Amino acid sequence: MVALGFAGAFWLKREDLLFIALLFVFGGTFIAIQDALEGAMTADLVPQTSQRGVAYGVTGSVNGVGDLISSTVVGVVWTLYSPVAAFIYAAVMMAAGAVAIRRVR
């Protein structure tokens, strides 16, 4: 929803500081919740305490590579097309990820 909000702000050329600030607040809240849950789930999935350090390292590495790839793709879409297309692409990919996680569980 945050990515769609930013896409809408660019599409409508909305420069309302309060609207943009709220999008950043919602985005930051989501990231805070996600990061906390990610660490807790890593600990739950790896019951051996001697292996948790490796599990956190693998999680961080996978996240880092994924962030690099996704940021590069969004940057290319932003540069070649528009910010609106970049945020819509990001929103679609996030929704696809949520659906994939839901189906796997």
Tens digits of residue pLDDT in 68-83: 999 999 999 999 999 9
* Every domain of the chain and the residues it spans: 2-104
Cα(56)–Cα(53) distance, rounded to whole angstroms? 5
Q: Which two tokens stand for residue 7?
A: 């896409």
Buried/exposed code over 60-81 (b: 16+ C-beta within 10 A; e: otherwise): eeeeeeeeeeeeeebeebbeee
What pLDDT band is residue 2 in, cutting at 50, 70 and 90? confident
Cα(36)–Cα(20) distance, rounded to whole angstroms? 25
Tell me how many degrees the CA angle 27-41-34 measures, rounded to the nearest 5: 0
47-104 pLDDT, tens digit each: 888 888 999 999 999 999 999 999 999 999 999 999 999 999 999 998 998 899 889 8
| DSSP per-residue codes, 58-74 | HHHHHHHHHHHHHHHHH
pTM: 0.71
